[in-house]
């Protein structure tokens, strides 16, 4: 009797468990169905558990795009994995792989040896294949016009301008071998006319980088021009600012370097790159050195290089360095009767003792940099519209101080390089820089002698003055890094992969 009751209880329990499993499975199927027919609004949304289950069940699929950044001395392989809804075609980026292959295809030992060149190309393609998703599950890696079962995803090759400037025979040989290998002996989908190319203009690369940063910053979800990102690119000679502007806004023609129109997720976007001549780091450095140079006096270093003798209060009195730029060599040293500051030494053999430490003249350096920046930024009222369009752009940039609802400013060019040099951000993993930390580094550069970075005080002073006068930066403002935006590298490769995925080669 007891045994029969126990058996009945077990059957009831089993039936309940089975009903629970069926109901749970039904709810899961309903959730997956609803999820699969819900369009992905954000293309950089993280892959959820439902996405993974949908992929395993064949409701979603994965695809990939490979980008090769072929530089003069290294090759970077980017592999982007996309997760796509089969039902409506909406997608989002699942992951980015980035691998650097050394030495580069154009290096002396590789380019001169055809066998080694072939082996190195194979290494690059092997790395690209290694990062592709597992094909055991549902995987859409083949474009529509590729019928072979062995076809792999589309591949795009960008050759750097630095590499293209090398010897023509070397460049031609390397590119011919790479193109032949991709076209005939590679299972990647490759189009010689569309897969191969170079970004010939800085404006093209900048526009792609701006798009990638905006994409990873989720700017296109609730698009507002007034809250879009600003890309600040300080080069050697000039300053370039890339930002979105209202579609109907008049622009200062003398500053517009390039203008791009694009449609992004239902929004019409107008991207402008403005050029501010003379506000490059080296232009400013040359100007400051010119204030204190004596053109008739020349000096030579140990190698016999002659240059204009410069005595500048913007460098530490103990510094002695040569700098060559724009066909001119400057022999830069501190002023003869330098400034000293009585400080208590913290480290070394004189720790705890007061010493006279040589310092650069902080106030003087700030004054000359501020005067120079103010002159270069001054609105020209003799322009056709009385400088109104120029002032409108200037005023919109001044609002980018990092407050609530304000626009994020991303650093590029020499501004980013100087932050890396001073340990404020990292070259690969990035890291945002608070203006307070930047100013602390500036004060340290002016007060502590550093023969390895003889121009650090002047360089940081100019950069700090520029972002202050141009953007109205405060100590709490932030310079954002594009190296790691939501876990990805926000640069042109991401924008190129996104375009190829949407439009094909």
CA distance between the termini of the chain: 75
Is the pLDDT reported for residue 503 higher than 80? no
Tokens 């994409």 correspond to 215
pLDDT of res. 138: 42
Q: What is the DSSP string of 387-398?
A: THHHHHHHHHHH
Phi–psi pair at 402, nearest 5 degrees:
80, 10
Rounded to whole angstroms, how far apart are CA atoms 360 and 26?
74
Q: What is the pLDDT of residues 405-414, one digit of tens each?
A: 478 999 999 9
Rounded to whole angstroms, how far apart are CA atoms 294 and 382?
35
pLDDT band at 238 (very low <50, low <70, confident <90, very high): very high
- Alpha carbon separation from 494 to 73, 102, 238 (Å, rounded): 22, 22, 26
Contact 375, 423 (CB under 8 A): no
Q: Supply angle C-alpha 368, 277, 492, rounded to 5.
A: 120
**Average pLDDT of the residues of the chain:** 81
- pLDDT above 70 covers a percentage of the chain that reads 74
Give the pairing of strands 339-344 and 320-325.
unpaired
Q: Higher pLDDT residue, 479 or 502?
A: 479
Tokens 């699969």 correspond to 36
Q: What is the pLDDT of residues 46-76, one digit of tens each?
A: 665 556 665 655 666 778 889 999 998 899 9
Among the residue ranges 26-35, 121-130, 275-284, 366-375, the one predicted with the least confidence is 26-35
Rounded to whole angstroms, how far apart are CA atoms 488 and 154?
20
pLDDT of res. 340: 67
Phi-psi sector, 262: left (phi>0), alpha (psi -120 to 50), beta: beta
Find residue 76's DSSP bridge partners.
69, 100
Among the residue ranges 218-232, 348-362, 481-495, the one predicted with the least confidence is 348-362
Q: What is the pLDDT of residues 8-20, one digit of tens each?
A: 767 767 666 676 6
Mean pLDDT within 435-457: 93
Is 419 exposed, middle or buried (CB count within 10 Å of its CB: 0-12, 13-18, 19+)? buried
Rounded to whole angstroms, how far apart are CA atoms 106 and 259?
33
Phi–psi pair at 129, nearest 5 degrees:
-65, -35
pLDDT band at 161 (very low <50, low <70, confident <90, very high): confident
Phi–psi pair at 115, nearest 5 degrees:
-65, -45
Ordered domains of the chain (ranges, CATH): 49-202+493-503 (3.30.420.40)
3-state helix, strand, coil in the chain (%, to 5): 40, 25, 35
Contact 4, 12 (CB under 8 A): no
Contact 345, 352 (CB under 8 A): yes
């Amino acid at each position: 009797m007891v045994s029969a009751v126990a058996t009945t209880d077990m059957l009831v329990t089993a039936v309940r468990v089975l009903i629970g499993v069926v109901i749970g499975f039904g709810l899961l199927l309903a959730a997956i169905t609803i999820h699969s027919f819900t369009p992905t609004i954000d293309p950089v949304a993280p892959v959820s558990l439902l996405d993974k289950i949908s992929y395993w069940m064949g409701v979603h699929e994965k695809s990939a795009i490979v980008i090769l950044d072929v530089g003069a001395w290294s090759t970077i392989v980017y592999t982007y994995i996309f997760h796509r809804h089969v039902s409506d075609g909406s997608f989002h980026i699942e992951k980015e792989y980035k691998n650097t292959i050394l030495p580069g295809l154009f290096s002396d030992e590789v380019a001169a040896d055809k066998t080694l060149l072939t082996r190195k190309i194979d290494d690059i393609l092997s790395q690209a294949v290694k990062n592709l998703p597992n094909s055991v599950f549902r995987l859409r890696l083949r474009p529509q016009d590729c019928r072979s079962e062995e076809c792999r995803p589309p591949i795009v090759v960008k050759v750097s301008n630095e590499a293209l400037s090398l010897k023509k025979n070397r460049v031609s040989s390397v590119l011919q071998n790479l193109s032949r290998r991709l076209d005939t002996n590679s299972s990647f989908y490759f189009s010689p006319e569309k897969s191969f190319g170079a970004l010939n203009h800085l404006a093209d690369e900048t526009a792609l980088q701006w798009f990638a940063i905006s994409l990873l910053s989720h700017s296109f979800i609730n698009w507002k021009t007034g809250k879009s990102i600003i890309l600040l690119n300080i080069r050697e000679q000039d300053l370039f600012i890339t930002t979105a502007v209202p579609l109907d806004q008049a622009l200062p023609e003398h500053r517009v370097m390039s203008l791009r129109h694009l449609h992004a997720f239902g929004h019409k976007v107008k991207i402008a790159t403005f050029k501010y001549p003379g506000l490059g780091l080296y232009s400013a450095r040359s100007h400051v050195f010119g204030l204190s140079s004596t053109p008739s006096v020349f000096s030579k270093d140990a190698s016999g290089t002659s240059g204009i003798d410069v005595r500048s209060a913007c460098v530490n009195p103990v510094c002695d360095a040569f700098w060559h730029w724009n066909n001119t060599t400057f022999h830069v040293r501190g002023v003869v009767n330098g400034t000293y500051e009585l400080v208590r030494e913290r480290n070394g053999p004189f720790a705890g003792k007061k010493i006279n430490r040589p310092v650069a003249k902080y106030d003087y350096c700030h004054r000359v940099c501020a005067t120079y920046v103010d002159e270069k930024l001054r609105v020209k009222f003799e322009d056709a519209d009385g400088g109104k369009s120029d002032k409108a752009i200037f005023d919109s940039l001044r609002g980018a101080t990092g407050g609530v609802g304000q626009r994020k400013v991303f650093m590029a060019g020499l501004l980013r390089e100087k932050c890396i040099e001073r340990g404020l951000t990292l070259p690969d993993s990035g890291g945002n820089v608070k203006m307070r930390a930047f100013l602390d580094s500036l004060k340290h550069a002016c007060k502590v002698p550093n023969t390895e970075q003889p121009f650090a005080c002047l360089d940081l002073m100019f950069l700090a003055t520029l972002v202050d006068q141009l953007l109205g930066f405060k100590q709490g403002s932030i310079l954002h890094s594009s190296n790691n935006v939501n876990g990805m590298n926000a640069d042109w490769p991401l924008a190129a992969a996104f375009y190829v995925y949407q439009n094909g080669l």
